[in-house]
Amino acid sequence: MQSKKKYDKSILIKIKDAARLTDTAEGTWRHWLMGGEGMPPVRVIRLGRAVRIHLQDLLDWIESGAVVTPRRRRGRPTKAEQVRRER
């Protein structure tokens, strides 16, 4: 039987840790926090210049199976992308 480990809802993590947990770039998280599209539904706390994210919200979002789809790159597709589309 799998046990779901619940964390204290008051635990806050850094952007670096959120990026590591979601396997996304730290810069992507910073972009989302500045109002970019695709921001996961997590609560964010700003303490001066420090930004912290609620761990439980992030874990709930990960468990829900939500997928972050990268935006399509601007400009001409690379040769690898062209070959992939032809298949």
For the CA atoms of 40, 34, 17, 1, the dihedral, rounded to the nearest 10 degrees, stands at -10
- Residue 35 confidence (pLDDT): 79
* Residue 41 located in a structural domain: yes
pLDDT averages per 10-residue partition of the chain, 87 residues: 59 92 88 80 88 90 74 80 85
Domain coverage including residue 62: 12-69
Residue 65 included in any domain: yes
Q: How many domains does the chain have?
A: 1
Q: Rounded to whole angstroms, how far apart are CA atoms 31 and 39?
A: 9
Q: According to the model, what pLDDT value does residue 1 have?
A: 46
- What Å distances lie between residue 64 and 14, 31, 40, 45, 74, CA to CA? 21, 22, 11, 22, 30
Residue 81 lies in a domain: no
Please give the pLDDT value at position 53: 92
Residue 86 domain-assigned?
Answer: no
Residue 25 lies in a domain: yes
